[in-house]
Amino acid sequence: MSGTLNEQELVQYIAAETGAEPESIRVVLKHEKTFINTAEANEQGEVEIDSDDLVDFVLSCKDVKLDEMTVEAVLDAEMDYLMDIGIAVDED
């Protein structure tokens, strides 16, 4: 795949996978970005993101109208998309 991020395609993919509305998906992705950008790097310069902490952060934002399971599904679908296009890799 191309390895470039197309936000519109990403949102459409997530909507198809989760049934969530595109605007709700954009809100979740916006807060996810804020969480990641404010996370501190470890000694190796890597940022480790705990998915439970991320979901809790997103749910704490007043403009998020989705339930916990839907937020998790949106984030999981995003990761699937990013892995499909070669931007992310699963390190589990």
Q: What is the pLDDT of residues 5-56, one digit of tens each?
A: 899 999 999 999 999 999 999 999 999 999 999 998 888 888 888 999 999 9
Report d(CA 82, CA 89) in Å as an integer: 8
Evaluate if residue 59 carries a pLDDT over 60: yes
Report d(CA 32, CA 57) in Å as an integer: 8
Say what the pLDDT of residue 88 is: 76
Report d(CA 35, CA 53) in Å as an integer: 9
pTM, two decimals, is 0.88
Radius of gyration over every alpha carbon of the chain, rounded to an integer in angstroms = 13
Report d(CA 71, CA 73) in Å as an integer: 5
Report d(CA 68, CA 74) in Å as an integer: 10
Please compute the mean of the pLDDT values over residues 48-77 and round it to a whole number. 96
Say what the pLDDT of residue 52 is: 96
Say what the pLDDT of residue 5 is: 82
